[in-house]
Amino acid sequence: MADIVNVKNMYKSFFGVLALDGMNFSIGEGEIRCLIGENGCGKSTLIKIISGFYTFDKGSLYINGKEYKKITPIESMNEGIQVIYQDFSLFPNMTIAENVMMYSSIRSKSQFVNWKNMKNRAQETLDRIKFDIDIDKYVYELNVAEKQMVAICRAIAQDAKLIIMDEPTTALTAKEVENLFKVVSELKSRGVSVLFVSHKLDEVLKISDSFTVMRNGKNVYECKDKKLSKEDLIFYMTGKKISEERFNFIKTDEKPLMQVKNYTLQDKFYDINFSLYKGEILGITGLLGCGRNELAKSLFGIMPATSGNIVINSENIGIIRNVQHALKYNIGYVPEDRITEGLHMEQTIADNSISVIIGSLVGKNGLLDDKKVRKKKQETLSLIPIAGMRPLNPAKSLSGGNQQKLVLAKWLAANPQILVLNSPTVGVDVGAKNEIHNIIKGLAKEGIGIIVISDDIPEIMTLCNRVFIMKDGYIVDERNIAETTMEELEAQIALEDSKAEETA
């Protein structure tokens, strides 16, 4: 089997920081490979070098047997290498047909656009992987899975030999993932190689023929079969054995802190009923599109429910109408997406830390009380220690894990009695993840009721004492973590999925 890409002893540094430190990597024809590693391990640098967006300092790069000292994006595409980024890089103001043929059209150097020819060729491409959709639809009308298919078609249309997919399954439902895998096997049978890039131990491992683990810019483990436990994989990724204790919940109060009754948001979730006790960590999991995300947002008033009611400390408060309403009852929310929802990256760390409680820092004269403000900033920033942080630097100067700690800290400042955490460690290194888990457990011990919404099963296993499984907007199962295992939980989620398909 000839290698499509072969990287030998490659070095690359940015501003004196080594991103690639003697990396070796190769992928052969018709191979499905998973490249896995923590954030910042050098995965994306490697991809950008192969696709021609970065140059490298030292080492050698062979593509289809030819050595490149330097490669441009166009040359890389001409060699049949296609990258599908997480955002797909599609143009919403253009049709599917045009998006599929866009790159080929740019590379063909033809100055004119022949729409009829373009549509025919786009249709042929779609037919090849049996993707059935109207090619005259605009891309802004499509959902995530359809957009991904368009991006794949675009790669195929250029006779791609190697398709690199960046985190391809994070935004897909189980059925869509299955569909993607069908397409990938189809590609494999045509001799096209696929490289999945991921920082999560997820489904892509199942379909990959082999995988490569990266750490600190090096290839630390390569495996042609899949005989490796998750624990070992984590060890290779992080370089340390991380063993997390499970959370041990002791009920201190028989009266529930919060009761959710028949909570419904039309078309999103229905009849949600549960109780949350003081000091409990409750997990809510399920596949993408099961309604967990919407439930999380409606518990915080961002997407108000349409019916049902909530009882907090025996007081019936009805539906949580908006964020202010949620804040009034000391509900805190840590959003999924730090960058757009969690922090104000341009503002200082100190100001970010008091952004939730700013309303409470107003003095008697209607102005902000400087003394209080200063005191609160100090207090909040000492709640969760963030190493090497300067309070007056902007929040964007922090690393991903530290940013997430800051988000937690700013919510803790508000003294929440209930905390809703939506995927609290998404995109955080395994090391920082462990630290954040310990913080969350500590909070529960102080008596805060915590709801963790996550699709990360190991996370649910270490954090929670109870878990609900959601499916199609309903809670379909409840488990005590102490009485279940990771495999059982995963099987349960998959089972619920296949059951639903049978009935559908």
Partner 1 sequence: MKRLLKNNEFTVAIIIAITWLIFGIVNPDIISLANVYSITRASIISATFALACMLVIISGGIDMSFFAVGCVAMYVTVKYLVDRAMLDTPLFLIFAAAIIIGIILELINWFFIDKLNLPPFIVTIGSQSLYKGFLLAFVGTTYITTMPKGMRKLAVTYVSSTTSSSGIVYNLHFLVIVVAAMYIIMHIVLNFTRFGRNIYAIGADVAAAQRAGINISRTRFLVFLIAGAIAGVGGVFQGTLNRAAVPADLVGQELLVIAAVVLGGGGGKQARGSVLGTALGVILLSLISNNLILMKVPSYWQQAVTGIIILIGLIIQSTEAISKL
Partner 2 sequence: MEKPSEPKKINFLSLLTKDQDFLRLMTITVAVFVAMSLMRPKLFLTVNNFTSMGYQIAELGFFSLAMMMVMITGGRDLSMVGISNLSGIIAALVLHNAYLKELSGINLWISIAAAFLIAIAVGIACGLFNGLIVSSLGVPPMLVTLGTLNLFTGIGIILTRGEAISKFPAEFLYFGNHTFLSVPIPLWLLIGALILTGVILNKTRYGFELKFIGSNYIASLFAGMRNKKVLMRTYIYSGILSAIIGMEVLSRTDSAKADFGTNYTFQAILCAVLGATNPNGGYAKVSCMALSLVTLQFLSSGFSMLRLGGYFKEFAWGVMLLLALTSNYLIEKRKLKKSLSIYSNKTQKKSLKA
Task: Name the residues that contact partner 2, by CB under 8 A.
Answer: 14-18, 300, 302, 323-324, 326-327, 333, 335, 340-347, 350-351, 355-356, 358-359, 361-362, 366-368, 370, 374, 377-378, 381-382, 388, 390-393, 397, 410
DSSP 216: T
In the complex, minimum distance from the CB of residue 97 to partner 1, in angstroms, rounded to a whole number: 12
Q: Given the complex with partner 1, which of 134 and 446 has the nearer CB atom? A: 134
Q: Which entry of partner 1, partner 2, none binds 279, CB below 5 to 8 A by partner kind?
A: none
Residue-wise burial string across 43-67, b where 16 or more C-beta atoms lie within 10 A, e elsewhere: bbbbbbbbbbebebeebebebeeee
Q: Given the complex with partner 1, which of 140 and 370 has the nearer CB atom? A: 140
Residue-wise burial string across 154-186, b where 16 or more C-beta atoms lie within 10 A, e elsewhere: bbbbbebbbbbbbbbbbbbbbbbbbbbbebbee
Q: Given the complex with partner 1, which of 15 and 112 has the nearer CB atom? A: 112
In the complex, minimum distance from the CB of residue 151 to partner 1, in angstroms, rounded to a whole number: 10
Q: Which entry of partner 2, partner 1, none binds 105, CB below 5 to 8 A by partner kind?
A: partner 1
Q: Which entry of partner 2, partner 1, none binds 74, CB below 5 to 8 A by partner kind?
A: partner 1
Give the CA angle between residues 321, 326, 330 to the nearest 5°. 165
Q: Which entry of partner 1, partner 2, none binds 140, CB below 5 to 8 A by partner kind?
A: partner 1
Q: Which entry of partner 1, partner 2, none binds 111, CB below 5 to 8 A by partner kind?
A: partner 1
Q: Given the complex with partner 2, which of 65 and 366 has the nearer CB atom? A: 366
In the complex, minimum distance from the CB of residue 264 to partner 2, in angstroms, rounded to a whole number: 23
In the complex, minimum distance from the CB of residue 106 to partner 1, in angstroms, rounded to a whole number: 5
What are phi and psi for residue 482, nearest 5 degrees? -60, -25
Q: Beta strand 331-334 with 418-422: parallel, antiparallel or unpaired?
A: parallel
What are the residues binding partner 1 (CB under 8 A)?
73-74, 77, 83, 85, 87, 89-94, 98, 102-103, 105-107, 110-113, 115, 140-141
Question: Minimal CA–CA distance to 144: which of 165, 169, 127, 119?
Answer: 169
Q: Given the complex with partner 1, which of 94 and 500 has the nearer CB atom? A: 94
In the complex, minimum distance from the CB of residue 1 to partner 2, in angstroms, rounded to a whole number: 36
Q: Which entry of partner 2, partner 1, none binds 491, CB below 5 to 8 A by partner kind?
A: none
In the complex, minimum distance from the CB of residue 362 to partner 1, in angstroms, rounded to a whole number: 34
Residues in contact with 409: Cβ distance below 8 Å, sequence separation at least 6, in sequence order: 353, 380, 381, 383, 384, 386
Q: Which entry of partner 2, partner 1, none binds 69, CB below 5 to 8 A by partner kind?
A: none
Q: Which entry of partner 1, partner 2, none binds 2, CB below 5 to 8 A by partner kind?
A: none
Dump the DSSP string for 364-397: TTSSB-HHHHHHHHHHHHHHS--TT--TTSBGGG
Can you tell me which residue has the tokens 């004119």?
112
Let me know: does 122 contact 157? Beta carbons within 8 Å.
yes
Residues in contact with 262: Cβ distance below 8 Å, sequence separation at least 6, in sequence order: 271, 272, 273, 307, 308, 309
Q: Which entry of partner 2, partner 1, none binds 79, CB below 5 to 8 A by partner kind?
A: none
Q: What's at 276, amino acid-wise?
A: L
Q: Given the complex with partner 2, which of 75 and 351 has the nearer CB atom? A: 351
CA–CA distance, 260 with 308 (Å, rounded to integer): 8
Q: Given the complex with partner 1, which of 265 and 281 has the nearer CB atom? A: 265
DSSP 196: E
In the complex, minimum distance from the CB of residue 323 to partner 2, in angstroms, rounded to a whole number: 4
In the complex, minimum distance from the CB of residue 388 to partner 2, in angstroms, rounded to a whole number: 7
Q: Beta strand 193-198 with 32-37: parallel, antiparallel or unpaired?
A: parallel
Residue-wise burial string across 245-262, b where 16 or more C-beta atoms lie within 10 A, e elsewhere: eebebeeeeeebbbbbee
